[in-house]
Chains A and B, each alone.
Chain A
Amino acid sequence: GQNIDQPTEMTATEGAIVQINCTYQTSGFNGLFWYQQHAGEAPTFLSYNVLDGLEEKGRFSSFLSRSKGYSYLLLKELQMKDSASYLCAVRDYRDDKIIFGKGTRLHILP
């Protein structure tokens, strides 16, 4: 089976940097995704990592270590609109199923 853990809630200040961690356990790893979801809306894709290392995309970066079963999403220069839930998801090679963690609710303070 698969198990994905991420913190339930985090709070950060506008303009600051925040790192959201995700740990996972799966037998057939085939990529890790980060999605952003605003309340009442659909999840939108942020990043995809399948190899170890850091992927940078504007203010958002995502890191993966397959040997440690660990990823993080780094958000820089935080803006109020970044207040949302951030979902970590893992794809299984054997059945292509994408399983989500419970999400981290990020609160941005002015």
Chain B
Amino acid sequence: NAGVMQNPRHLVRRRGQEARLRCSPMKGHSHVYWYRQLPEEGLKFMVYLQKENIIDESGMPKERFSAEFPKEGPSILRIQQVVRGDSAAYFCASSPLGQGAMGTEAFFGQGTRLTVV
């Protein structure tokens, strides 16, 4: 049973380009979280998705950022017109649980390190 898979592991983009980060949750998991982490800082919540549904995107910037989790395929975090301040590690985590259920841990992928030059 493969863990949470993120790709690419490293991504370099020039200012103004688009970045697409992919996350395949663990088998059987239907919930995905995206977090951003700047060097020497904690994980900042961005968005929480179920299949074909955004549950909570309160942590995501209103402009340039979008996320989806289609019925088939991985979850995608898309950053348009990247700027240097977008450089960070982006982690995806997956969980099997739905709203109201007792919690167990979320499993993390290895992250995508985005560098904007």
Which residue numbers of A lie inside 8 Å of B, CB to CB? 30-31, 33, 35, 41-45, 48, 50, 85, 87, 89, 91, 93-103, 105
Contact = CB atoms under 8 A, between A and B. Distances in A.
Nearest to A30: B103
Q: Chain A contact residues: over half helix, strand or loop, or mixed?
A: strand
Given A87-B42, A102-B41, A103-B42, A96 B97 contact: yes
Interface residues of B, number: 30
Contacts of B102: 30-31, 50
A72 to B, nearest CB: 18
B43 A48 contact: no
B1 interface: no
A95 B91 contact: no
Given A95-B99, A100-B45, A41 B110 contact: yes
Contact of A98 (B40, B101, B106, B110): B106
Given A42-B91, A42-B108, A93-B100, A100 B31 contact: no
Interface in B33-87: 33, 35, 40-45, 48, 55-56
Contacts of B48: 95-97
Interface in B86-117: 91, 93, 95, 97-111
A31 B56 contact: no
A97 B103 contact: no
Contacts of B97: 96
A45 B42 contact: no
